[in-house]
Structure 1
Amino acid sequence: MMQPNKAVESRTLKELLRLNERRERISRLWAELRPAGEADRPRERSSSSFWVMVQKEIGDHLSSWRFGILMGIIVLACIGSIYSAATAIRSGGSAADGGVGDTFLFLKMYTLTSSALAVPSFSTFLSWLGPLIGATLGFDAVNSERNKGTLGRLLSQPIYRDDFIKAKFISALAMIAVVVFSLGLLVMGLGLFTIGYPPTPEEFARILIFLLIAVVYIGFWLCLSILFSIRFRQAATSALSSIAIWLFFTIFYSMIINMIDSATAVSQMASPEAQLRQMNLVLTLNRLSPTELFSETISTMLSPGVRALGPLTMDQLVGAIASPLSLGQSLLLIWPQLTGLLAATMICFGLSYVLFMRQEVRSRA
């Protein structure tokens, strides 16, 4: 009874020996065919798969219905704001700009609005609709792939895991940059027909910096929506979370700050130092909102007559010349706000990156 088992074992041992011999032959043959020094060379990261994913995501955004509908709404709002600004310029509304007059008339196309038309300016539209662009492009960036079962299959391919989340962010940010700069240049082109002369080099530089800041601001909301898409498995939950945060900072946050200001207000008979501390406290709390930071940056870049973003004392006003600031001085004035926007965007992206890299991804059958 034991002889058949011994025969089976000996046959199995012979097959294993043959397999080991074949593996050794294949390894020796591969070592001979491989170029010299390739064994010690570290494996380099290929960027081809990353850019393929970026191109694929851009194509998906361009072919989606929601992106087309959102672009239609934004273009209509942009045309309305251009018409309102042109009407205000024709009616002589450009003179009311803090003493600057018609020195920077071309910038009024982005900030001016007609009192006869209930249409906000282009910068106001961008501050309102910009977060919707970021939330629309990022609220289902990861959870849709997970729910469809394509995330596990994609990560099982010879690509790096962090390339996936970076491709999602880079492709959406590229689409945001294209949309913002296209609308901004559209306003500039229509402003040429309205005003009749091109912008000065300083005006052109201010407009480009304003559009770049708008891309950073919308990029913050994009990173926030991508973070929610990683945290929540349902796309509806991540979308509602992004919209809730946007509504909180746009509408309710200012109400909360006003209540805090009323509760901690000092009397009018208090010392100037106490009143100044109260104003600085309210200003600091307001600047915790990305919407307030963006509003201060665009008001400084598009209105050179703005010389300060905080409370001014009489000592600071004595001897001051009523003239617009140069481009360099305006950049120095908004540098803290711009740094805050960049920091908030990087923090949101860093949290998204760490959370995605630590998540378990399982392939669906």
Structure 2
Amino acid sequence: MLPRPERVPIGRQREGSPWTGLWAVVAKEMADHLTSVRMLILEVLIVLTASGTVYAATQSLRAGAGGSFLFLNLFTTAREPLPAFVGFLGLLVPLIGIALAFDAVNGEFNQRTISKILAQPIYRDALLFGKFLAGLGALALTLSAIWLLIIGLGLLQLGAPPDGEEVVRILWFLLVTIFYGGIWLALAMLFSILFRQPATAALASIAVWLFFTAFWGIIAGLLAQLLRPAPPGDTLALIEQVQLELALARISPNTLYAEVALATLNPAVRALGLILPIQLHGAVPGSPLPAAQSLLLTWPHATGLIAATVLIFALGYVLFQRQEIRA
């Protein structure tokens, strides 16, 4: 009689760590990002934008348009015909995140390299997570270089270094900007898993971005009026309607990021959302809020951005694990 084959326990079907080869994927993908023509075009665009807006802002500040917190004003001061740099960030950061990941997975399928990669001692976990970390690393490296460029231009034009409060606020704003870009990176990677054509994934990602940028604020206002109607003269109902509209608007990453930028780069902001006169009792008009208090004020927004990134990536992870990969 032939010996009966041994049964392999289900828990031992996959040997070794699922993260084997993770850093090899990160290094390879990040090198591809930083040397690609796509990334070079985006970097040139951002450098030109940052240089132009910051130079215009320094000219306005040197002319006497700014007061305290000069380095924070570099991000928020506008001069015709250029808007402030923080306005450009709301448009450029999502585009960078989408450009880095819209063909992260479907590109491997179209080039017929996915089965060859997974034939190595690299599991799907390490492949997907490595691609996401590489995209996030390339995004963080690009934004950090832009921040250093802005600070360098500010030092040259203004002739004074930033103080401790400004450094803390600038670094916190950089960190939140990376989290904001991570949402669009994870979304583009999700669509690259759902759709086999990179063009379709890119268009779907841009469509979601345009929806939250242009239409979600209008939809939130209409939903608030529908769910919480406010009769004329009913102040309490009107306050509840405004609070509901604000809560619905904060579903959009754009709103969360805009509020973080407002509270971080403008120390005079003490609250976000609806402020009643009784809440201003005892406040000193025009006094700046300490950096630690501004961080506490914007911490829920940063947590929301991180949570959205994790949820979107987790959804893509589950879908990628269920996909069939054939040689």
Aligned pair partner of 2:206 in 211, 219, 243: 243
Aligned pair partner of 2:40 in 55, 64, 68: 68
SS at match of 1:226: helix
What is the CA distance between 1:154 and its match in structure 2?
0.8
Deviates more, 1:315-324 or 1:84-93: 84-93
Compared CA separation, residues 108 and 145, structure 1 to 2 (3 A): same
SS at match of 1:93: coil
Aligned pair partner of 2:190 in 227, 230, 233: 227
Give yes or no for the alignment of 1:110 onto 2:75. yes
Q: Name the counterpart of 1:282.
A: 245
Query: 1:175-207 CA distances to partner (integer Å, 9 max, x unpaired)?
Result: 000011110111011001121110001111110
What is the CA distance between 1:121 and its match in structure 2?
1.3
SS at match of 2:45: helix
What CA distance in whole angstroms lies between the structure 1 residues aligned with 2:59 and 2:263? 23
Query: 1:100-153 CA distances to partner (integer Å, 9 max, x unpaired)?
Result: xx2312210111112xx1212111111111000000000000001001100011
After TM superposition, list the pairs within 5 Å mapping 1:56-205 onto structure 2.
56-94=28-66, 102-114=67-79, 117-205=80-168
Residue 20 of structure 2 contacts residue 122 of structure 2 at CA under 8 Å; is this kept in 1?
A: no
Residue 19 of structure 2 contacts residue 122 of structure 2 at CA under 8 Å; is this kept in 1?
A: no
What CA distance in whole angstroms lies between the structure 1 residues aligned with 2:247 and 2:121? 48
What CA distance in whole angstroms lies between the structure 1 residues aligned with 2:65 and 2:91? 23
Compared CA separation, residues 320 and 196, structure 1 to 2 (3 A): same
Q: Name the counterpart of 1:38.
A: none
The code of the aligned residue for 1:236 comes to: A
Under a length normalisation based on structure 1, what TM-score does the superposition of the two structures give?
Answer: 0.82
Give yes or no for the alignment of 1:359 onto 2:299. no
Query: 1:263-288 CA distances to partner (integer Å, 9 max, x unpaired)?
Result: 66635522x31121111011111101
Give yes or no for the alignment of 1:342 onto 2:322. no
Q: Name the counterpart of 2:9.
A: none
Q: How many residues align?
A: 315
What CA distance in whole angstroms lies between the structure 1 residues aligned with 2:232 and 2:282? 27
Residue 26 of structure 2 contacts residue 130 of structure 2 at CA under 8 Å; is this kept in 1?
A: yes
Gaps of 5+ in 2: 3-13
Deviates more, 1:323-332 or 1:287-296: 323-332
Gaps of 5+ in 1: 1-12, 17-41, 95-101
Compared CA separation, residues 44 and 91, structure 1 to 2 (3 A): same
What CA distance in whole angstroms lies between the structure 2 residues aligned with 1:113 and 1:251? 22
What is the CA distance between 1:225 and its match in structure 2?
0.2
Aligned pair partner of 1:217 in 180, 191, 201: 180
What is the CA distance between 1:44 and its match in structure 2?
4.8
Under a length normalisation based on structure 2, what TM-score does the superposition of the two structures give?
Answer: 0.91
Percent identity between matched residues is 46
Residue 54 of structure 2 contacts residue 74 of structure 2 at CA under 8 Å; is this kept in 1?
A: yes
Give yes or no for the alignment of 1:54 onto 2:26. yes
What is the CA distance between 1:161 and its match in structure 2?
1.9
Q: Decide which structure has the larger Cα Rg and report it.
A: 1
Compared CA separation, residues 158 and 197, structure 1 to 2 (3 A): same
Residue 225 of structure 2 contacts residue 241 of structure 2 at CA under 8 Å; is this kept in 1?
A: no
Compared CA separation, residues 262 and 160, structure 1 to 2 (3 A): closer
Moved over 6 A (4+): none
SS at match of 2:172: helix
Deviates more, 1:61-70 or 1:336-345: 61-70
Q: Name the counterpart of 1:10.
A: none
Compared CA separation, residues 265 and 80, structure 1 to 2 (3 A): farther
The code of the aligned residue for 1:206 comes to: R
